[in-house]
Amino acid sequence: MSYVEDPGPGRGSLPPRAAFTSDAPALSLNGAWRFRLSPSLAAAPAGVEGEEFDDSAWDELPVPSLWQLHGHGRPAYTNVPYPFPVDPPHVPSDNPTGDHRLRFDLPADWPAGSAVLRFDGIDSCGQIWLNGTELGVTQGSRLPSEFEVGALLRPSGNVLVVRVHQWSAGSYLEDQDMWWASGIFRAVTLLARPAGGIGDYWVRAFYDHTTGLGTVRVETGPNVVLAIPELGVTGHPAGEPLELPVEPWSAETPRLYDGTLATAAERVPVRIGFRTVTISGGQLKVNGRPLMLRGVNRHEHDPHTGRVVSPETALADVLLMKRHNINAVRTSHYPPDPAFLELCDTHGLWVIDECDLETHGFELLGWAGNPSGDPRWTEAYLDRIRRTVERDKNRPSVILWSLGNESHTGENLARMAEWVHDRDPSRPVHYEGDHDCAYVDVHSRMYATHEDVERIGRREDDNARRRDLPFLQCEYGHAMGNGPGGLLEYRELFERYPNCQGGFVWEWIDHGLAADGHFAYGGDFGEQLHDGNFVIDGLVFPDRTPSPGLIEFAKVIEPVRISADPAGIRIGNHYDFVDTGHLTFTWVLEEEGTEVARGVLDVPSVHSGQSVTVPLPALPSTSGESWLTVSAAWASATTWAPAGHVVAWGQLAVSAARAAEPLPRRGPVFRTGGRLVLGAGEFDPATGVLSSLGGHAVHGPRLDVWRATTDNDRGEFAGRPQAELWREAGLHRMQHRVITVDADGEELVVRTRVAPPAQAFGLFADYTWTAFEDRLRLRVEVTPDGEFPGTLPRLGLAMAVPGTLGSAEWFGGGPGEAYPDSRQAARIGRFSSRVDGLQTPYVFPQENGNRTAVRWARWTDPDGAGIRVDGDPVFDFTARRWTAAALEAARHTDDLLPDDVVHLTLDVAQQGLGTASCGPGVLPRYRLVAQKTEFTLWFRAVPGH
């Protein structure tokens, strides 16, 4: 059997060890390599390993890279299914094979003796030669492999050859939900290994919260001395324990002590974080405090280079996470580039470090043949977890080891856990697939419903072992498209039950790949088998622009909560460790969204888990609707945000809207020249539909219930998709029958029945228009007629206004979009945007951009002329240059082409979002059920400057 189909872990590499740098010489071999892709091993050129082989006609390829993202072959996306026959350990004969060659010289001062060639990641299997000699074969794509090469090196003209196969036996263990793409995708480095140097080390540093003492002992070779100058430690024999007063490390206070490990031959810089992870009383604790995990699942993704993620991009992720109140990361579903974990140490994020393992495709076969229970794969499983733990063991940010993802259960997983328990008892083991928690230390679920979390929180589980473990959701809040909805309710449960310690939203980033004018997803590369846009389910867009989902999540998990209290303003500290001393509290008073005063709020330092109430500041009196917004911001800069970075805010209503003025006299309805005129409005006499307002040509408003379905509306995880039920009912093609247009006297009353073809049910919609000088009042009365099935997408009006009205301004919820179950981040204020800027560019187009709780809004042309709508008291709106139908039909953002009108929706209600794309649907309280509804809107034209 070829090495490609060997289920074992590869061959020839050195035992795994920690990732670290030292003062020993190192040479990066990243850069331009020669490259040739062959459709199969059989078709690959012979003799590539030979030093004399002529590669001058080959292409150049950057290393690190995934070749499919550089014009060689094409990426392919599947979630669960393997894109090849499930015939383990065999792989297709048409196995794309990429030959990589690099000629390199050593620097003049390169020392003789031992040297190690390190590959941080080769996807999926590489055969490696140096100067014609085979070094070995790698498997385990997102894990390092090292080879001893000292005896083979020469000062110049070294030839390094790596033959990479897209598929290998290892591919069966790498069925993660992501792009299939291949290559030497992480760094390649040559490391001189001085005799008497430091081969490996493990800084075992702990913190005793009862005494304030830290302990440190370094497991390493002989004659290594430890120095931690800041702690007065010099020349300390590394292997001997030390105990001394220290400041602990936590994600909130990522205190690291710089030190060195040294022998006569080598110095290794170390950054030591003192912290102790324990499980006690059914809770996961660090330094004695239970954690609340406000986490995300992070895949490594860049829209141009795929899983090749630069240090700058890794830093961008960490900074974005910290700035959005995220405190934890699960490295789904493989160990990340080691640089990422160092950043987690530096800036403070709790990490579940997950092994590179997933065999999900076997689920489609009822798990028959799953490697997790097959002894042929035991060594590969053990090899993978060893390489994970050994590489990352020095990272204080890593608090749990995860065996992998969605590989069912089996003896090989149990063996992995056993190995970890033995090797590193200081960190608990996580694996969601061990449903009985037979070999893991925490109870983990993915996409548990709110009800399930509640049950777990109440400890109503009859599995006694599981019941008594800390509980976390390794995945929840599926962030696909518009959503997730329901995060607030999860937070409430996590806070109610001490054993529920939060979780990790799925997932951090949309894996869209940059294409001409849009981001591509599954199927865009001609894949025969693919899972479409299921790979677009992140809190940030592919270019790392935060989506509304991230803004909502940041608000829901904010570490300080600011709310109204009968005695003033209540400030609750929801940090796990720190007090609020680092924060400055400021207030702004706005009258109808216009600032009238601001100041600093005096708040005593509040301890973690405590709250205080402070009196309201002295405020000037206001007459219109006024809100006091209190914000908590960092007083000085941190490593991850500038001074003034806001972590939390709250709003208190100060004064209500002015009482309505007495209405002026009503104006009459009259007919003239075939038109119906009422105040500033002109109506079509046959349909009663408004056709002009103050000289602006309009169409509508008319009753409208459809929205371009979201991924969650179409989701199949919570019973039959809402979208399917809506379509079946015909809600996307309602017809309007005019019953009467009654235009006598002072009101225009239009009675209609709005109903889908082929159905007996419908909605009566009665519109009553009244003119008060320049304003038109519209009362809408909606009455279901017949047995109305299920929910409605939305309930409101649709209206088209001239395309020149391209600017929007409103007083209400904003600045971003909001939906009933995802609206915590909308504050009341006055906002403005271009109509184009109101769109959220979901990679797969769908309903978006709804502004909620709007008191009034206006849409104007460049001269300021346009249309204003006032709520009575509030409404929701969208404004876009395409119809809901066009939005629904689009597959990529650049399919959306502007009409010559602006389409408005003016709504009284929307169905929530939920997370049925993978998880529970819309919670009952956010479902929109047809019922008798009345609402009022006021329309008027606004003059230009």
Just list the catalytic residues.
406, 475
Residue closer to ligand GAL (CB basis): 432 or 524: 432
Residue 746 to residues 666, 678, 738, 769, 771: CA-CA distances in angstroms? 7, 9, 20, 9, 8
Residue closer to ligand GAL (CB basis): 317 or 537: 537
Residue closer to ligand GAL (CB basis): 193 or 445: 445
CB of 769 to ligand GAL, least distance (A): 48
Burial 556-580 (b: 16+ CB within 10 A, else e): bbbbbebebbeeebbbbbbbbbbeb
What is the DSSP annotation of 858-901? EEE-TTS-EEEEEEEEEEEEEEESS-HHHHHH-SSGGG----SE
Residue closer to ligand GAL (CB basis): 79 or 563: 79
CB of 718 to ligand GAL, least distance (A): 14
Q: Tokens 């065996």 map to which residue?
A: 403
Residue 464 near residue 500 (C-beta atoms within 8 A): no
Residue closer to ligand GAL (CB basis): 445 or 855: 445
Residue closer to ligand GAL (CB basis): 480 or 560: 480
CB of 431 to ligand GAL, least distance (A): 12
CB of 81 to ligand GAL, least distance (A): 12
| Crossing angle for the helix pair 378-392 and 338-347, to the nearest 10 degrees | 40
How remote is the C-alpha of 573 from its chain's centroid?
A: 25
CB of 430 to ligand GAL, least distance (A): 13
Give the closest residue to 331 by CA, choosing from 421, 414, 339, 323.
339
Residue closer to ligand GAL (CB basis): 406 or 434: 406
CB of 479 to ligand GAL, least distance (A): 9
- Residue 664 CA to residue 541 CA, distance in Å, equals 50
Chain contacts with ligand GAL (rule: CB under 6 A) = 79, 177, 333, 405-406, 446, 475, 478, 506, 534, 537, 918
- Residue 452 CA to residue 341 CA, distance in Å, equals 32
Contacts of 110 (CB under 8 A, 6+ apart): 25, 27, 153, 155, 192
Handedness of CA 791, 797, 801, 806 (dihedral sign): negative
Q: Tokens 């399917």 map to which residue?
A: 724
Helix (H), strand (E) at residue 319: helix 311-323
Give the closest residue to 521 by CA, choosing from 475, 478, 480, 551.
480
Two structure tokens written together for 403: 């065996």
CB of 222 to ligand GAL, least distance (A): 44
CB of 178 to ligand GAL, least distance (A): 8
Residue closer to ligand GAL (CB basis): 333 or 903: 333
Exposure of 522 in the CB half-sphere (CA atoms within 13 A)? 21
Residue closer to ligand GAL (CB basis): 446 or 887: 446
Residue 720 to residues 168, 448, 761: CA-CA distances in angstroms? 38, 18, 21
- Residue 359 CA to residue 67 CA, distance in Å, equals 24
Find the residue with minimal CB distance to ligand GAL. 177
CB of 404 to ligand GAL, least distance (A): 10
Residue 536 near residue 917 (C-beta atoms within 8 A): no
Strands 794-802 and 699-704: antiparallel
Residue 649 near residue 656 (C-beta atoms within 8 A): no
